[in-house]
Structure 1
Amino acid sequence: MPSGERLEDSRQPRGVLYPARLPTFDRIAPPEGVASLVRWFWIPEWQLQPGRSSRQHLIAFPACNLVVEKDTVGLAGPTTRSSHRDLTGTGWGVGALLRPAAVPHFAGDPAAVRDTYLSMDLPELHQLVHRAMTGPGDRGSRHREAVEVFSKWLAGEVPPPDHEALLANEMADVIDSDPSIRTVKDATARLNISARSLQRLAGRYVGLPPLAMIRRRRLQEAAERLRTEPGTSLADVAADLGYSDHAHLANEFRSVLGITLSGYRRDVTP
């Protein structure tokens, strides 16, 4: 296994609204050589009975994904709302959650691909990953091989990140991992850059404003708390995540995801 790589069978991935409905799903950390380009690889596989479907709902990370599927390669742009996909039949996907440094290579203006899924003409990448996913071996070995060939292709395709691109990576890491960052001002203070510089980095490398990135993390955390801590009051969840009150969280949850806090909790509580 390449250095730095690990295989995780994740049934509770952050950003997935209904983890219990997931098909077989693995999340694999990138090899060290592409760690500045990819946050992780994700690989679902499914086999559904004829006439059946499985709807997958997401609060996607504020990022682009490069995805190889059975018949195509696509670029999923950053999203401004929740999204879903209906799975049918038999299939698989190998996705790379791109770090900001890799985004300009595939989307010169990531804001232009918000809420879109673009077909990409990348036949070599498709051939390499398709061969790995349909070859012999068990699930783990096929997935590791797919990540290895995907990673080697990326390393040869995307130039090494410069200082600005690495700063964009740091921006995304800080916003996503530090719950004390609740405003743009908090992020600029942590990164020691101006609000204008922060806005420029987010626009060029993510395609969403910094405040939208912060709000996405908070909504993901809110959904995760509702799933994993069913006894916690909605008011406590709002307070812990820095919302001014329960109503503020409820309004944002409903406006972005199209569902109510109480309705979501009811749906995910066993």
Structure 2
Amino acid sequence: MERALPGGTRGILHARAGLERFHAERTAPPPPLAPFVGFFWVLHWDLRGRAPHRQRLLTLPSVHMTFTSYLTGGATRARIVGVVRDEFVEEIADEGRVVSVGFRPGGFRPFLGGDVPVAALTGRFAGVDEVFGADGLALAAEIFAAPGAEEGLGLLREFLLARRPAPDPSAERAASIVERISARPGLLRVDELAEDVGLSPRGLQRLFHEYVGIGPKWVIRRFRMQEAHERAASGSEVDWAELAAELGYADQAHFTRDFTAAVGTSPARYAREAGADREAGA
């Protein structure tokens, strides 16, 4: 009998194969942080005696704050990961863990303060001290010294609760617009979206630059690819020409080019490989 994937695997390419090498778990934020935080997450792996693993991700328009401990060698890394536009591949080896928080689209902007837009972090891996100063470095040291991931998550939650910003209507509006895009993978045009949410195209661009970190055109395209990836990985037979039309493509060739650029292989090949992963893990 085929095993179901756990929740929280969206964006993990070849998730079944990856989860043979690492364990990932997401937890919901406490209610006071829910306007800003999408989820907390932990990743743990033990590949001692096995080959390193390279995991590719199909990223979403979110900022993450990550605390990585390479338990075998003792190295650590604390950083704020802005929206990743292009390919994102992470290699894991030996034994390690990541304690992290994924912010809602728009939800990190209130923590930045001042006039710094989230776009200033896009495509960057900033040290936690760039935003949180010495307090961020102290938090990192505490998380790395914690005996387990759950204790590290508790420290991270308390840190953010102590710095919880005031409600920001623009952050909430940005998040709701991104959710609207996610629910409409056939959406094509920025001007159509702008009219739908009561903004001018330029106003929508400004909101996304300030709060999301990347333009609405990229977000529209990325959620189309997320939908296509999930269909390809589903195990169901897919009519690619029909899916291309459903997602608003003028032709299947254009859809295939976009999918290959985002995922690294054609949709038909990805579906075959996902099927092989399911059979291997059955």
Q: Distance in 1 between the 2:234 and 2:44 partners?
A: 25
C-alpha displacement of 1:79: 1.4
Match of 2:103 in 1: 98
The 3 A distance-change label for structure 1 pair 204 and 47 is same
- Which structure 1 residue ranges, 5 or more long, are not aligned? 1-8, 136-141
Match of 2:232 in 1: 226
Q: Distance in 1 between the 2:187 and 2:162 partners?
A: 35
- Structure 2 matches for 1:23-34, cutoff 5 A? 23-34=22-33
Q: Distance in 2 between the 1:106 and 1:86 partners?
A: 29
* TM superposition score normalised by structure 2: 0.81
* Aligned residues of 1:65 and 1:96 also touching (Cα < 8 A): yes
Give identity over the alignment, percent: 28
C-alpha displacement of 1:214: 0.8
C-alpha displacement of 1:130: 3.5
Q: Distance in 2 between the 1:173 and 1:152 partners?
A: 27
Question: Residue 138 of structure 2: which of 124, 128, 147 is its match?
Answer: 124
Match of 1:16 in 2: 12
**SS across alignment from 1:168:** helix
Match of 2:119 in 1: 111
RMSD of aligned residue pairs (Cα, Å): 2.3
For the pair 1:245 / 2:245, whether they are aligned, the reply is no
Q: Distance in 1 between the 2:102 and 2:259 partners?
A: 24
- Which structure 2 residue ranges, 5 or more long, are not aligned? 70-75, 130-135, 277-282
**SS across alignment from 1:72:** strand
C-alpha displacement of 1:111: 2.8
**Count, aligned residues:** 254
C-alpha displacement of 1:240: 2.7
* Aligned residues of 1:230 and 1:269 also touching (Cα < 8 A): no
- Structure 2 matches for 1:35-54, cutoff 5 A? 35-50=34-49, 52-54=51-53
When structure 1 is superposed on structure 2, of 112-121 and 226-235 the one drifting more is: 112-121
* Aligned residues of 1:101 and 1:161 also touching (Cα < 8 A): no
For the pair 1:159 / 2:155, whether they are aligned, the reply is no
C-alpha displacement of 1:110: 3.1
C-alpha displacement of 1:230: 4.0
**SS across alignment from 1:202:** helix
Q: Distance in 2 between the 1:227 and 1:69 partners?
A: 29
- Structure 2 matches for 1:139-178, cutoff 5 A? 142-143=149-150, 145-178=151-184
